[in-house]
Amino acid sequence: MRAVVTGGAGFLGSHLCDRLLKEGWEVLALDNLITGAEKNLAHLKGNGRFEFLKLDVSEALHIAGEVGYVLHFASPASPPDYLKHPIATMKVGSLGTLNALDLALAKGAKFFLASTSECYGDPEISPQHEEYWGHVNPVGPRSVYDESKRFAEALTMAYHTHHGLDTHIIRIFNTYGPRMRLNDGRALPNFVYQALSGKPLTIFGDGQQTRSFCYVDDLIEGIYRLMHANEHFPVNIGNPLEMTILEFAERIRKHYRPAPEIVFEPLPQDDPKRRRPDISKAKRILGWEPKVELEEGLKTTLAYFAQEYKSTK
C-alpha cells in the first residue's frame, strides 16, 4: 500500500496525496518544483506515512522499497507554464512517462497516467467522447503539451499491451479549487487575481469559447475510483456543465464590489473553441459524476485565493 505520486507538490498531485493518505496508503511524492510548491504539502509534515523528494522524473528514477502504485501527475499544465517551459514539458510527458512506467514495471506496481482533455485539441465535435481522436496542431505553440500527453497515452498503452502492465488513463477536463496558483494563466485564477488587484478581467477573443469546470474534490473521487477499476483505455473526468468564458467571467464579477470591468484581447493560436466532456463512460464503469455545484466550489476557492493574495501583501 505504498504509492509514488509524481508531481505530488502540484495542485492536483497534492490533493491526490491527501486522498491516498486518508485511504491508508503510504505516499512518496516526487516533484522538481518547476510549477509545484512545497507549501501545498506543508500540512503533511510529520505524517509518518508521507515522504517528499525533490527530483526531476525526466531523469532516471531510483526508488528504494516496495511500490504498489505509480501515479504520474508531473507536468506543467497551464498555457503560460508550458509555453515558458516547452522542452521540460515535452521531456516530462515522454521521458518522465517512460521512467514512471519503468518504475511500475520494475516494482510490479499498477500505473496511472494523468492525461488531459487537450488530447482533443480544438475539437470538431462536442461534447468530446473518448473515441474521438482529436484535432491537434502538431507544430503549434500548444503542441508541446498536447502532443506530449498524446505520446504519454500511447506509451502507456504500449506498456499495457506489450508488458501486461496494469495501467489506467484519465483525461482531465478543466478543474479548479484551493492550491491553484493565483494568476497561473488559466481562466479562474487569472480572473480572481485581476479582481483582487482592482484590474479589469481579461477575456481572450469574444468570450464565446466554452469551458466546463470541475471542483477538485469531484475530480479526485473520479481518480480514486478509476485507480481500482478494470479499465485500461482513457476515461474522461470532468463536469459536463458547459458555459462561455464570458458567462464564467460574469459569475466571478458578482463576487466582488465594485465589480471589475471586462476587457477583450486577441485569442491565442489554437485555443480550443469548445470544451465539454462526455462522461457517460465514467458514469457507466465508475458510477461517477460531479456533485459539487459551481457556486459551492467557487465559495471555497475564492476564499482560498483571498487568503493567498493577502499573504503576498
Note the pLDDT tens digit of each residue in 230-241.
999 999 999 999
Residue 185 confidence class, pLDDT cut points 50, 70, 90: confident
Q: Which domains does the chain have, with CATH numbers?
A: 2-175+214-237 (3.40.50.720), 178-211+241-275+292-311 (3.90.25.10)
Q: Which residues are designated catalytic?
A: 145
pLDDT at 312: 85
Per-residue exposure over 178-187, b if at least 16 CB sit within 10 Å of its own CB, e if not: bbbbbbbbbb
Mean pLDDT of the chain: 97
Answer whether 62's CB lies under 8 Å from 106's CB: no
Nearest to 96 by CA among 81, 78, 76: 76
Q: What is the pLDDT of residues 59-106, one digit of tens each?
A: 999 999 999 999 999 999 999 999 999 999 999 999 999 999 999 999
pLDDT at 305: 97
pLDDT at 313: 78
Q: Please give the Cα distance from 44 to 27 (Å, whole number).
A: 11
Q: In the chain, pLDDT over 70 holds for what percent of residues?
A: 100
Q: Please give the Cα distance from 283 to 281 (Å, whole number).
A: 5
The stretch 288-294 carries a mean pLDDT of: 98
- Enter the C-alpha cell of residue 6: 509524481
- In this predicted structure, the answer to whether residue 57 has a pLDDT above a threshold of 90 is yes
The stretch 2-13 carries a mean pLDDT of: 98
pLDDT at 183: 84
Q: Please give the Cα distance from 188 to 181 (Å, whole number).
A: 10
* 264 conformational bin, left if phi > 0, alpha if psi -120 to 50, beta if neither: beta
- In this predicted structure, the answer to whether residue 119 has a pLDDT above a threshold of 90 is yes
pTM of this prediction? 0.97
Nearest to 123 by CA among 133, 107, 135, 131: 135
The stretch 38-49 carries a mean pLDDT of: 97
Nearest to 45 by CA among 66, 65, 17, 73: 17
CA geometry: angle at 14 spanning 11 and 20, to 5°? 140
Grid-cell match 505524517, residue found: 47
- In this predicted structure, the answer to whether residue 25 has a pLDDT above a threshold of 90 is yes
Q: In the chain, pLDDT over 90 holds for what percent of residues?
A: 96
- Side-chain-facing half-sphere of 121: CA atoms under 13 Å: 20
